[in-house]
Chain A
Amino acid sequence: MDQTQKSYEYDEVITFTQSGGQMDSTLKQLQTHLKELRNLVNECEPLYHGKGTTSPIYNQYKTLYANIGNPNQGLWNQVYGAVQLQNQIYNNAQNDKRKDQQGY
């Protein structure tokens, strides 16, 4: 099938969403920064903290960790959603390309 018969520019979408593509690089960068933030908060705690779990400082650290959370909460939960979305769009574009090439 030649270029003019493409239903849309799926090759651009594939390049944009593939491993190492622009969207992937953005999400990778975000994940790297989240990991670095977790390390920094981890390093900050022994330098500055209150006594026990009732101190206001403890509660602020608790909220920070909740938001850089785990796969079920906070930013990591959204990162997981974004990763799934990227995979879905990439696969849809690949399927559309395949259909066009097969003449569906």
Chain B
Amino acid sequence: MQSAWGKLWLVGLLWAGLFGLFAQQALWGHILSALFPSAQTPLFDRETLLSLSLQHLGITVAAGLLVILIGLPLAIFATRPLGAAFRPLLESSVAIGQTFPPVAVLVLALPIFGFGSTGAVLALFLYGLLPVVRGGLEAFSALPADVLEAASGMGYSPTQRLWRVEFPLALPVLLAGIRASLVLILATATVAPLVGGGGLGTPIVAGLAVSNLGFVTEGAVSVALLALLTDWTLTRLEAVLTPWRS
């Protein structure tokens, strides 16, 4: 327990370090012009790296919150007696939905949600819903039956049982689903500039269009760092929230 919280300090430090690094616009400029001497402006100059990364994180968090707020209740509903009839449908939809390519989801949502970051957030939400719903369905249906019976036997109402017994037991798998979803959303958000969503994909897409490798590298390195740190942070969070597993 102690060590898990200790690592959480490290997480905070790394996030501060990463955004500190993103704020060093001049440093990025120096490094990129050393790497790509032939490019006239190796650093994306329409927006600072810091604002791009904040946009990226903003889109991810907004879509992620929507996913959690809608995906979890959906999974809980389908594992209750009332919604049990819909569960196979939900399972099969999730399986099919996962074969949809992320870019296709993003651009297909274009005519419906329109151009801009709202559209991107909603499309990413739809895509990110899948791991959370799947994780939720798995988590709530793999609980040991004797524990649940014991809870009911102790006189818990279905709602009490859900919150006091099922939810804590399902938490590890739920959290794994949420992590998968957030990492997926963050990665897919790189293509968001195609639909006007902004974020760290902007310099990549712009750089590819005018074949400026400096722009491409700037965006690619930053988004890769952001993705790795996000993944690691959520892994740590899982460890802290479910200390009984380690």
Q: Do chains A and B stick together as partners?
A: no
Residues of B within 8 A of A (CB): none
